[in-house]
Amino acid sequence: MSDLLSHAEAVWEAVVLLLPGFTVEVLPSIDSTSSELMRRARSGLMQPVLLTAEQQTAGRGRLGKGWHSKPGQSLTFSIALPLAPSNWSGLSLAVGVSLAHSLHPDVRLKWPNDLWLHQRKLGGILVETASTGDAAQGQRMVVIGVGINIARPEASAVAALVPDGSTVAAMAPAGLAEVSVGITPGEVLERVAPPLVRDVLAFASQGFGAFAQRFAGLDALQGLAVQLSDGTRGTACGVTPDGALQVLTDQGMLTVTSSEVSVRPC
C-alpha cells in the first residue's frame, strides 16, 4: 500500500462528518489534481472531494508557473467543495494560515499564496472557482490546490519551471523534512487536510476577518522592502481587511490585489 493511500482513510474519517458525501481519491500520476477537479466541476460534478497523486506531470502554480513534483518527495493535492461566502477576498490567505499552523511553527506566509520556511519557498497555493447551478445564490465550486516540498528539490529542477521569457530567477526551495525529519507525504496530508477543510468552512461563514490576526503573525513580508512586478518599490505594511497587500511607496500607500502583481523582497 502506498504512503498516501495508507493515510487516505484517516483523512476521510476526519472530514466526512463535516462534508457529507466527501471522498478521498489517490492516484499514482496525473497531469494536475487541480486541473482534473476543475474539469469535473465544469462538467457538472459538484461532490466535495480531495484528490491527491504520487506525481503530477503538469502541476500548476500562480501566474502560469509550474510546480515541481516527484513521488515521495512532495505532497500535491487539491480539494473541491461548493462554497458561498459573502466575500471571496482573502481565501488564499486563509488557506495559507491553516496550512502554516498545521505544518510547523517556523513556516511563514509570503503574500499572496506562498508558504515559506527560513526565507525559502516551501509550498504554494492555487485557488480557482467554477460556476455551479446555485451561482445565483453566490455558490461556486472552489478548487484549492496545494503543493508542499517534503524533500528539498534541486534548484535546477525548480528553475526549469519558470515561464519562458521570465526575468525572475527561481527562489531557492525548502523542504519540510529540514524541520520534520523523516516525515512522509501521507503523514503531511493527514496533518493538514482536515484542519484545512474546517478553516475553509469557517472562512465561508466568517470571512477573512476570522484569519486576519493569525495572518499578521505569519506575514513574511511585514516591514520588508519589496518590488512589484511593474517595478514599483516600497515597504510591505501588512494587508487590508479583505486581504489586499499594502505597500508604502514614495507616492503614498498602495493597495495591491493578487491579480495585479507578484511580490518579492528586494
Catalytic residue among 39, 70, 198, 264: 264
Q: Is 62 a catalytic residue?
A: yes
Catalytic residue among 121, 152, 191, 214: 121
Over 80: is that where the pLDDT of 202 sits? yes
* Domain definitions of the chain by residue range: 3-218, 225-265
In this predicted structure, what is the pLDDT of residue 229?
86
Higher-confidence residue of 38 and 168: namely 38
Catalytic residue among 40, 60, 62, 152: 62
Helix (H) or strand (E) holding 95: helix 91-103
Q: Which residues contact 89 (CB under 8 A, 6 or more apart)?
A: 208, 242, 243, 244
Q: Is 121 a catalytic residue?
A: yes
Contact between residue 238 and residue 222 where contact means Cβ atoms under 8 Å apart: yes
Span 225-265 CATH architecture: Roll (2.30)
pTM for the whole thing?
0.88
pLDDT mean over 196-217: 97
Is domain 3-218 in CATH 2.40.10.10, yes or no? no
In this predicted structure, what is the pLDDT of residue 160?
46
pLDDT mean over 234-244: 96
